[in-house]
Amino acid sequence: MINTHISIWLLLCVTSFSLFLAVGKRRSELTLLKGILAGRHRPVLFSYPEKLLDLYISMFANTTWLTYTLFTFLEPIVEPRERILVLMSDLPLAFRSRKWLMITVPLVIYGVMRYLQLIYQKNEGEIPAKVITSDKPLLITIILWGFIVIGVIYGLG
């Protein structure tokens, strides 16, 4: 419709993030359902070894922030609409590159790490939407990330 393609890195990031949330949900359910409640829930939950789920969580957590980082680093250069200074054409490309989305990478890494902490230390994660909206540090991180992304896209773009 707008004659453009979605970045493959953004697509991989969204896929990795979705799988990260899904495996985290499965891991949290398995932790909660051990013991007394084991007979009342889906037997498929117990076909996943905990170590395997831990490996999946680690793999998708890493690919989530890594593909987001590659998306921000490999995004096309944002050029100003009008040239203000002719001197800008003489500066090295690395200096005049305006890839400001890179400043959001630490927030994404912190968000992934915080979610992992909630899964493993607080045994939360079975309802990702509830975890994201009820944990203040994670919610503040997401809101700050959103404001920075909007600022970069509409303020600097």
Residue 93 CB contacts under 8 Å (≥ 6 apart), including other chains = 77
Is position 121 within any domain? yes
Instruction: Show the domain range for 24.
Output: 8-75+95-156
Mean pLDDT of 118-147: 88
Q: Full-prediction pTM beyond 0.85? A: no
pLDDT per residue as tens digits for the range 131-145: 888 999 999 999 999
Is position 82 within any domain? no
Is position 37 within any domain? yes
Is position 124 within any domain? yes
| Sign of the CA dihedral running 39, 45, 48, 50 | negative
DSSP 3-state of 156:
helix
Is position 102 within any domain? yes
How many domains are there within the chain? 1
